[in-house]
Amino acid sequence: MKSKEPFILTYEGEIFITNPYDEEINSLEYSTKSIQFFDDDIIHSSCPFYKIEHIPKNSMVKIEKVDKYEDGVIIYCLEKLELDIDNKTAFKSFRMNKKIYKDKSIFRKDGSEKFIKVTREKTLLKTKPCYVVDEDGDIRIFDEENN
């Protein structure tokens, strides 16, 4: 049996994090950034880290709207996942897969939704600054004070 992991779901112009487990996620921390290539440079956008708590089983939480002007490869990483399994707390960390659902593929054959939509507050924990890696492997960090 394939193990279930939270993933990013894009549906109707919105981006969600899913909880595919049959139990509540106590706490989930994730980060997001984009990577772009310009000439011989690799540009990493700033990287905010967020926390969402109490995500019900088999649900999805909207984290943002699709930005049609956002450039580069968008990456979502699950930094920390806390849930109770057999009265033990489990922690996981991995890069989340991104799935795009179109038409009726978000629904089961019987017409019911695979995930229920829930609303949860997301808390900004920190933000890592933008940086560029040049062709020699040198790193330039950009922040609001030192552009």
CB 11 within 8 Å of CB 69: no
- Token pair for 53: 């708590």
Residue 60 within a domain: yes
What pTM was computed for the model? 0.80
- Taking phi over 0 as left and psi of -120 to 50 as alpha, with beta for the rest, 106 belongs to alpha
How many domains would you assign to the chain?
A: 1
Residue 58 within a domain: yes
Per-residue pLDDT of the chain (147 residues; tens, 9 = 90+): 245 788 888 888 888 998 988 889 999 999 999 999 999 999 999 999 999 999 999 899 999 998 888 878 888 888 888 887 666 666 666 666 666 555 445 666 665 677 888 999 999 999 999 999 998 999 999 875 555
Residue 2 within a domain: no
Cα–Cα distances (Å) from 61 to 7, 15, 17, 104, 127, in that order, read: 11, 8, 5, 19, 21
Residue 1 within a domain: no
Q: The domain containing residue 120 runs over which residues?
A: 8-142
